[in-house]
Chains A and B, each alone.
Chain A
């Protein structure tokens, strides 16, 4: 069985400061892990994907995530937030099915 927990439902940062969105997972399989972003009234777009190659995964728009098996975590980070990063972010784990986290809404203050 798989599950995913996004530890924060809302995160607020100032423009130019770092972003950290936290995700813990559990899986009976060697999982694939994804981060998707959803801008208001839009579909989901893939940010990055982990599939057991490098544990540090680089994605689009300066985002990256580190797979930590010992901590069962896959946190999403970005060194410097931009106003356009304001959106909802979903952590997703896959094995025999795809399981979405509940989402984290990122607010970026000017």
Chain B
């Protein structure tokens, strides 16, 4: 039981490049989330999903897209990376009650945009 895994762990992009971050969970959780963490700001929600085939915007969705084609996977895409997107990205999942149930976090992806 791996819990929540994220790939890649580290990535360096040039401005304008695109990339996809992959999140996978093996706990059969219904809800999945993408956050970004910046110093002194805690975690901020980018997008979330309440089930396979559904996505919704969080607090800071601009510049990101997501897809949840399979229940166990939640992809975060950057179409044209900008230096402001340099951050640590965390994926999380929860079994029940979006925003009210315990969330289980992956180890994070450290992204640098030059």
Contacts across chains A and B counted by CB atoms under 8 Å:
47
Chain B interface residue count, Cβ-Cβ cutoff 8 angstroms: 20
Would A32 and B100 count as touching, CB distance under 8 A?
A: yes
Query: How far apart are A32's CB and chain B's nearest CB, in angstroms?
Result: 5
Contact B43 A97, beta carbon cutoff 8 Å? no
Complex: A43 Cα to B99 Cα, angstroms:
18
Judge whether A96 and B106 touch: CB under 8 Å. Answer: no
Interface size on A, residues (CB 8 A): 22
Q: In whole angstroms, how far apart are the Cα atoms of A65 and B57 in the complex?
A: 32
- Residues on A with C-beta less than 8 A from B40 are 9, 102-103
Please list the 3 inter-chain residue pairs (A to B) with the smallest Cβ-Cβ separation, ordered nearest first: A100-B42, A43-B105, A44-B105
Residues of A at the B interface (CB closer than 8 Å) are 9, 32, 34, 36, 41-46, 49, 51, 90, 94-98, 100-103
- Measuring CB to CB, which residues of chain B are less than 8 angstroms from any residue of chain A? 4, 40-45, 58-59, 90, 92, 99-100, 102-108
